[in-house]
Structure 1
Amino acid sequence: MKVLVVHAHPEPQSFCAALKTTAVNVLRDAGNEVEVSDLYAMGFNPVASADDFGTRANAGYCVYALEQRHGFANGTIRSDIKVELEKLMRCDLLILNFPLFWFSTPAILKGWIDRILVSGPVYGGMRFYDRGGLRGKRAIVSLTLGGQARMFASDGIHGPLEGMLRPLLQGTLAYIGLDVLEPFVAWHVPYVANEVRLEYLAAWRNRLSSLAMEPPLSFPSLDNFDESLRPLNGRT
């Protein structure tokens, strides 16, 4: 299996980085090919702009998704996008590893999503959800946060974490065709004892060894909708 780990934490000594290293070691030890995109270490540019394209489909007005298609088809998309896109397209498993910032991903990871999920090869037209460009591949999110699990219960102060992650899990990963697994969450990380962190790492190692057997989360299927995207017979 080919694995791409996209890691987004500014501190190399962080516990989040330990999750990344654990994933790399466990998966490589199991005989998998693992590539890592450490976004901060790479100095990855997160800003999607017209500068991402050489020759333009429309030099006077930049519709980013259309320029992505044109740049990909004509080989004029920026080299850093091309390199990351090639990693993404050849992987069987994508791991996004990051700390929760303001109920969301760090900006550098959002920028990777904006720039690397290229319209054309990854999605476009009616090629989304189970018809997306990355169908047949799997994805898992591993994240750290400062809050306690009870704060994210259904009656907790913040509400379920799943709601905060929906733009990522459904609107991004499932949308492009990936089979999305249940996230791995390390709670209250800055404040727990080292023994708890070691327990998190042990649990992460166990998850990694069984990812191929896990059922994915359920998201919409285009088979349940007609050509105008209305539900068939009331099914969703």
Structure 2
Amino acid sequence: MKVFLVLAHPESQSLNGSLATYAAKVLEDAGHEVKVSDLYAMKFKAVVDGDDFQEYNEQEKMKWADVLILHFPLWWYGMPAILKGWVDRVYAGGFAYWVGEYTPTHQSDRFGEGNMAGKRAMCMVTVGGKAENYSARGIAGPIDDLLWPINHGILYYPGYDVLPPFVTFDTFPGHVPPERWEKICADMKERLLTLDTTEPIAYRKQNFGDYTMPGLELKPGLEQPGETGFAIHTQKAPPANTAA
């Protein structure tokens, strides 16, 4: 496979930088081709302006890759500003997605369709707080909800099959003891070596009957009983038949 890894952390010797270096080595040792964009090392221009709206070199890497990995620390409940700027300049109408033709049953090529359809993507994220802080009842909110704008709104929007994120919690102040480092690396290696077989998040596609047209609201009755929020936009497997 061809893997494009985008790193957003200012310190190359940080936990993020070290994990990104390790990830690239694991993939290369397994025979995959890897390209890395270290945005801070590149001094990536994150601000969109009229003279330099699109970043064509990064677009070429996206076209080249079978898998896109966004590797970043969770800062203030989101990605670092330089990575958001990368999205602003690399994603563009006609490239990362295609608006396409509007019909009564088809409202543009996005959310499961688009120019990245058939490719895979995932987030690798470090989080300072403990996993309990980001659980369903945690004070910071569920990590899946916090990553929803990225997984669904940035990766799924242009058509990527989005893999569950690899999240490393309890990383403050940015280093971990050797035994924990070994465990993180072992878990990361397992995820990296199954990029082609891991089941993607089952987001609902926009143009395949689950949403009203043109309002794009989920049709009644498709969610699970009592289900609300972002979760209603993810398909659930039907319950197993336990009848004798």
TM range (shorter): 0.7 to 0.9
Q: Is the 8 A contact 1:143 1:184 kept in 2?
A: yes
Pair 1:155 & 2:129 matched: no
Any unmatched runs of 5+ in structure 2?
100-107, 223-232, 234-244
Q: CA RMSD in A?
A: 1.7
Residue of structure 2 equivalent to 1:136: 118
Residue of structure 1 equivalent to 2:199: 215
The structural deviation recorded for 1:124 is 3.3
Using the alignment, how far apart are the partners of 1:89 and 1:233 within structure 2? Answer: 37
Q: Is the 8 A contact 2:5 2:69 kept in 1?
A: yes
User: Does 1 or 2 have the higher relative contact order (CA < 8 Å, sep 6+)?
Assistant: 1
Using the alignment, how far apart are the partners of 1:171 and 1:231 within structure 2? Answer: 16
Give the letter for the 1:202 counterpart.
A
The structural deviation recorded for 1:49 is 1.4
Using the alignment, how far apart are the partners of 2:158 and 2:3 within structure 1? Answer: 17
Give the letter for the 1:131 counterpart.
E
**Distance of aligned partners of 1:165 and 1:232 in 2 relative to their CA distance in 1, 3 Å threshold:** closer
Any unmatched runs of 5+ in structure 1?
54-76
Using the alignment, how far apart are the partners of 1:205 and 1:12 within structure 2? Answer: 20
TM-score norm. by structure 1 comes to 0.84
Using the alignment, how far apart are the partners of 1:153 and 1:190 within structure 2? Answer: 18
Residue of structure 2 equivalent to 1:119: 93
1:154-173 equivalences in 2 (<5 Å): 154-173=136-155
Q: Is the 8 A contact 1:189 1:197 kept in 2?
A: no
Using the alignment, how far apart are the partners of 2:62 and 2:14 within structure 1? Answer: 25
Q: Which runs of 4+ in 1 moved over 6 A?
A: none
Give the letter for the 1:127 counterpart.
D
**Distance of aligned partners of 1:234 and 1:17 in 2 relative to their CA distance in 1, 3 Å threshold:** same
The structure with more helix, counted as a fraction of residues? 1
Give the letter for the 1:95 counterpart.
I
Q: Is the 8 A contact 2:129 2:172 kept in 1?
A: no
Pair 1:48 & 2:52 matched: no
1:108-128, CA deviations, whole angstroms, 9 ceiling, x for partnerless residues? 000000100121021132010
1:153-184, CA deviations, whole angstroms, 9 ceiling, x for partnerless residues? 11111120111111100011011100000110
Using the alignment, how far apart are the partners of 1:216 and 1:157 within structure 2? Answer: 27
Using the alignment, how far apart are the partners of 2:177 and 2:120 within structure 1? Answer: 32
Moved more, 196-205 or 100-109: 196-205
Give the letter for the 1:195 counterpart.
E
The structural deviation recorded for 1:195 is 1.5
